[in-house]
């Protein structure tokens, strides 16, 4: 009888871990959200209100509108693969195929897996995905309705890694076991995800009586215990199984990716913390300094206002460089925020002078994000 083993990533495995998961737990997967459109309307949908039912594309946490932005994000995070998700990527099949081909052509040995429902699965669509270079496909069957389950057989028409990935829903143990029985011999693995209560308008879990397992977690009470029972049941099957906890997603997957990004974007004067945040000195213009609704206020800056702020900051950089003999690379103009980046020590040393010139010095700790 096979043994259930705990991993170093707060998860459990039975057999071997899918290649997509191996890279994901190490933070090496770009999360490519192709579209928020989906043919299903799951009551446990975790999508945020900025994605659900909207035809938008995100690379990791960033809304994107170009191939270049996707490639840049993959490079910044030292990604060795991508997980293509949605919504349902098959709703925008042409876009999905384009991204698979783009990433495969841009990077060597780049592993791509994709999540989809069974609703839009056809042999013709699968062939297009396979020919584009997709390495691994994961389907999300509907537990309450086995009408589409027969489409799982289509996955075996192609030589790729194939599996099932579903949330562990308390009260649906019988149906989940039936799906496991049906999947035996048709796919290579089944991934179980600890169910979480999403902070969105789509999730109906609270309305249906589900509650968090404790005050510090969004994971649903009873989901973990049910997952462990299912893993014991799976010991008698041939399916590989990976049970992914909410803790893995928060403390390992995202954290690992953030640390990798920090190494790529950190300036020479930044201090990288063990958590992957950056401690840095910052000089703000008085009319673009942090406060309530900081990011929203930045988006409201008129182009001419932003241009004027950047000019003032550039002039300040020139003045400080000349007067205090500071090397140019130790004062970096951030065109997006807008602000000047420098070392914490320099901000402390020149704080009075910076204020005298009408600017706001600060030492901040922030994520290595846009």
Distance (Å, whole) CA 8 – CA 335: 40
Examine the pLDDT at 295 and tell me if it is beyond 90: no
3-state secondary structure of 17: coil
pLDDT digits (tens, 9 = 90+) for 313-347: 999 999 999 999 999 899 999 998 999 999 999 99
Q: Which class does domain 5-263 fall in? A: alpha beta
For CATH 3.20.20.70, list the domain ranges present in the chain.
Answer: 5-263
Predicted local distance difference test score (pLDDT) of residue 35 = 98
Tell me what the pLDDT averaged over the chain comes to: 95
Examine the pLDDT at 210 and tell me if it is beyond 80: yes
Distance (Å, whole) CA 199 – CA 87: 17
Examine the pLDDT at 293 and tell me if it is beyond 80: no
pLDDT digits (tens, 9 = 90+) for 155-209: 999 999 999 999 999 999 999 999 999 999 999 999 999 999 988 876 889 999 9
Question: What's the pTM value of the predicted model, to 2 decimals?
Answer: 0.88
Average pLDDT over residues 141-156: 96
3-state secondary structure the chain: CCCCEECCCCCEEECCCCHHHHHHCCCCEEEEEEECCCCCCCCCCCCCCCCCCCCCCEECCEECCCHHHHHHHHHHCCCCEEEEEECCHHHHHHHHHHHHHHHHHHCCCCEEEEEEECCCCCHHHHHHHHHHCCCEEEEECCCCCHHHHHHHHHHHHCCCEEEEEEEECCCCHHHHHHHHHHHCCCCCEEEEEECECCCCCCCCCCCCCCCECCCCCCEECCHHHHHHHHHHHHCCCCCEEEEECHHHHHHHHHHHHHHHHHHHHCCCCCEECCCCCEEEEEEEEHHHCCCCCHHHHHHCCCHHHHHHHHHHHHHHHHHHHHHHCCCHHHCEEECCCCEEEECHHHHHHCHHHHHHCCEEEEEEEECCCC
């Amino acid at each position: 009888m096979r043994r259930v083993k705990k991993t170093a990533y707060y998860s459990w495995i039975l057999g071997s871990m899918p290649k997509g998961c191996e890279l994901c737990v190490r933070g090496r997967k770009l999360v490519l959200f192709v579209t928020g459109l989906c043919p299903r309307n799951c009551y446990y949908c975790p999508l945020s209100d900025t994605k659900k039912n909207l035809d938008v594309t995100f690379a990791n946490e960033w809304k994107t509108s170009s191939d270049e932005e996707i490639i840049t994000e993959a490079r910044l995070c030292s990604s060795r693969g991508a997980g293509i998700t949605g919504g349902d990527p098959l709703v925008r099949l042409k876009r999905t195929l384009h991204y698979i081909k783009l990433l495969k052509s841009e990077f060597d040995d780049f592993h791509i897996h994709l999540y989809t429902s069974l609703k839009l699965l056809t042999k013709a669509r699968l062939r297009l995905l396979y020919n584009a270079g997709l390495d691994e496909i994961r389907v999300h069957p509907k537990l309450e309705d086995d009408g589409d389950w027969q489409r799982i057989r289509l996955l075996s028409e192609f030589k790729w890694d194939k599996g099932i990935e579903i949330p562990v829903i308390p009260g649906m143990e019988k149906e989940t076991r039936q799906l496991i029985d049906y999947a035996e011999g048709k796919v290579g693995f089944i991934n179980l995800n600890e169910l979480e209560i999403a902070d969105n308008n789509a999730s109906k879990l609270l309305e249906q009586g589900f509650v968090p397992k404790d005050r510090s977690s969004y994971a649903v009470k009873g989901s973990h215990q049910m997952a462990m029972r299912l893993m014991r049941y799976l010991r008698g099957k041939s399916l590989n199984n990976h049970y992914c906890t909410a803790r893995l997603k928060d403390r390992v997957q995202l954290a690992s990716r953030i640390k990798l990004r920090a190494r790529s974007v950190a300036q020479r004067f930044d201090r990288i913390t063990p958590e992957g945040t950056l401690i840095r000195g910052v000089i703000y213009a008085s009319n673009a300094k942090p406060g309530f609704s900081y990011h929203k206020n930045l988006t409201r800056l008129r182009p001419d206002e932003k241009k004027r702020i950047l000019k003032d900051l550039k002039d300040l950089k020139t003045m400080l460089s000349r007067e205090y003999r500071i090397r140019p690379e130790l004062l970096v103009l951030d065109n997006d925020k807008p602000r000047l980046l420098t070392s914490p020590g320099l901000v402390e040393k020149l704080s009075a002078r910076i204020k005298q010139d009408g600017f706001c010095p600060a030492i901040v700790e922030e994520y290595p994000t846009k």
